[in-house]
Amino acid sequence: MEKAIAAISTPNAIGGISVVRISGDQALTIADRVFKSISGKILGDMKGYTAAYGRVFDKDGDFDDAVALVFRAPKSYTGEDVVEVSCHGGIYVTRRLLRAMIDGGASPAAGGEFTKRAFLNGKLSLTQAESVMDIINSHSKQAARSAMAGFEGALFKKIQNINERLLNLSGHLAAWVDFPEEDIPVVEHDNLLNALGDCGTELNDLINGYDAGRLIHQGIVTAIVGKPNVGKSTLMNLLAGCEKSIVTEIAGTTRDVVEESVLLGDVVLRLADTAGIRDTEDMVERVGVSLAKKKMEQADLVLAVFDGSSPLSSEDQELIAEIKDKNVIAVVNKSDLENKLDIEYIQKRIKHIVIISAKNTNGLQELSDCIAGVLNLVHVDTTGAMLANERQRDCVQRAVSFVEESVLSIRQGFTLDAVTVSIELAIEDLLELTGERVTDAVVDEVFSHFCVGK
């Protein structure tokens, strides 16, 4: 077992209770230095999954009531001995409890270190560990469901299954090449090509589903564009007032750019820099086309807003010409007023069109349905295997290239040795994906994105 680490596992904020977690060798001994149960129970003598009520102490005396929950290795999150001490949820008390644990002999845990230990102790695959982070970061039902599927091992099992088939093929080929005199059935080219083709198709399906997965996990970067006065700000405010809105500060810019994530139906829209647009309404006019262009370039989705109560202008036509290659929805606003817009002109050029009144909040449901349709999110099976991040996508991409290379080698009549080499390289990449064979650098990189305490 490793040296004990400790961290506050609840948010750094005031709440009903806070939890300080300690894991590793000596976890029970150290926790016993800090926690004294009322009934005289010693944590080190307690069974796993049992709790004790008592007081917590440091060198200045006792400072709070607490409940200590004991987990015994290997039946804990990390696979090590773990104690979770719940105290009252004040920031001062919680930090003092953590300090007491550290004075008692624990080291402060690095970000993601508990989950990293769970991975190293075989409690989780790397893809499952990554799902833990996705579950924490989920802002919508779909994202949470899909992250949970990853945590339950949907992707891991899928990759393992493909890998086993590849291993079978390479083992068979290697045996046949190495021991030609043995009675090993001849590898039929057609069977081999079919088996490799199936693996390639399944891997490619994962890659094709990646964009939808990314949008579900990370939200849809959305640009709202249109000439002045069509109702962009009104629509933005309407969206921002949706059920849940989360504001993320992105540091490192000249002024903090505010990105607002809003939940519309079952999708998360990321409306970048909405504050800027809302603060200075005429900024849109001033920066006009150039700002809109930049926003559109980076966007997964463009909402092009038109004023239904006035005729189509040359500005509108320019905008239509510019956005036709994007994932775009024409949003014809002000449906509460008499229509004067040439909707047919737009319809001919932009496939998806929704008529709303941002003022009366009419048409919001249609807009939400349309977004899911445009981005192909409707038929996404969030309970199935899905790639959750760039690292995973990259591993699969490399594996596919090697599988395709092996197919090509067969077609071009290369020796079966060459085919075996390609298959084995594909296997390597898939083992890296699941974390079964992975470098420390990759593991460190994955866990560096975790928060402390997880």
Is the preceding omega at residue 74 within 30 degrees of 0, hence cis?
A: yes
Does residue 336 bind ligand GDP (CB under 6 A)?
Answer: yes
* Residues 339, 344: Cα–Cα separation, whole Å: 12
Task: Give which of 290, 308, 391, 310 is closest to 354, Cα–Cα.
Answer: 308
Does residue 233 bind ligand GDP (CB under 6 A)?
Answer: yes
Q: How far is the CB of 192 from ligand GDP (least distance, A)?
A: 60
* Residues 295, 298: Cα–Cα separation, whole Å: 6
Q: How far is the CB of 285 from ligand GDP (least distance, A)?
A: 8
Out of 13, 38, 42, 337, point to the residue binding ligand GDP (CB under 6 A).
337
Does residue 313 bind ligand GDP (CB under 6 A)?
Answer: no
Residue pair 125/141 in contact (Cβ under 8 Å)? The answer is: no
- Beta-ladder partners of 345: none
* Residues 26, 109: Cα–Cα separation, whole Å: 15
One-letter amino acid identity for 292?
Answer: A
Does residue 232 bind ligand GDP (CB under 6 A)?
Answer: yes
Stretch that binds ligand GDP, among 193-201, 232-240, 243-251, 257-265 (CB under 6 A): 232-240
Residue pair 313/230 in contact (Cβ under 8 Å)? The answer is: no
Instruction: Build a one-symbol-per-residue string for 342-371: x at contacts with ligand GDP by CB under 6 A, - elsewhere.
Output: ---------------xxx------------
Residue 232 or residue 295: which is nearer to ligand GDP going by CB? 232
Stretch that binds ligand GDP, among 98-106, 228-236, 256-264, 426-434 (CB under 6 A): 228-236
* Residues 247, 233: Cα–Cα separation, whole Å: 17
Q: Is the dihedral of CA 189, 192, 198, 200 positive or negative?
A: negative
Does residue 333 bind ligand GDP (CB under 6 A)?
Answer: yes
Out of 107, 121, 137, 229, point to the residue binding ligand GDP (CB under 6 A).
229
Which segments of 299-363 does DSSP mark as H helices, in order? 314-323, 343-349
Instruction: Build a one-symbol-per-residue string for 235-274: x at contacts with ligand GDP by CB under 6 A, - elsewhere.
Output: ----------------------------------------
Query: Could you tell me how many residues of this chain bind ligand GDP (CB under 6 A)?
Result: 17
Binding to ligand GDP (CB under 6 A) within 207-226 occurs at: 226
3 state SS for 404-451: HHHHHHHHCCCCHHHHHHHHHHHHHHHHHHHCCCCCHHHHHHHHHCCC
Q: Which residue has the tokens 């086309």?
A: 289
Does residue 72 bind ligand GDP (CB under 6 A)?
Answer: no
Binding to ligand GDP (CB under 6 A) within 130-189 occurs at: none
Residue 217 or residue 232: which is nearer to ligand GDP going by CB? 232
Out of 15, 197, 228, 288, point to the residue binding ligand GDP (CB under 6 A).
228
Does residue 289 bind ligand GDP (CB under 6 A)?
Answer: no
Contact residues toward ligand GDP (CB under 6 A) are 226, 228-234, 281, 284, 333-334, 336-337, 357-359
